[in-house]
Amino acid sequence: MEKLPEVSEDIEYVLYKDTKSKDFVKTVDSLMKFWAEFDKEQPGLSKILSKELIKFKKSGEKSAFLQAAWIVYRSLQVQLEVDNLNKDWEL
């Protein structure tokens, strides 16, 4: 079984860049694009998250749940890209 990448703390800067745009519309567009791609790339996981999401009644709870899911998935995604680049460059 292939192991998930170990996420470096440095990935935090990429996540921060993804969400801390001074342009609110750009940030929202970026997150909407992420979730649309996520739904296409991970339909099974998307359905699992959707089923869990409906258990939360308050919008703040839903937002926190989705943010946590985004942080985990995006961190793994970015770390995999970094690991592949390091492998390609033999670092």
Please give the chain's pLDDT, 91 residues, in tens: 889 999 999 999 988 887 776 777 777 888 899 999 999 999 999 999 999 999 999 999 999 999 999 999 999 999 999 999 999 998 7
* Structural domain contains residue 91: no
- What are 29's two structure tokens? 């567009």
* Structural domain contains residue 5: no
Q: Is 78 exposed, middle or buried (0-12, 13-18, 19+ CB in 10 A)?
A: buried
- Count of the separate structural domains present in the chain: 1
The parent domain of residue 32 ranges over 11-82
* Structural domain contains residue 40: yes
* Structural domain contains residue 3: no
* Structural domain contains residue 2: no
* Structural domain contains residue 29: yes
Cβ–Cβ < 8 Å for 71, 15: yes
In this prediction the pTM is 0.84
* Structural domain contains residue 43: yes
* Structural domain contains residue 66: yes
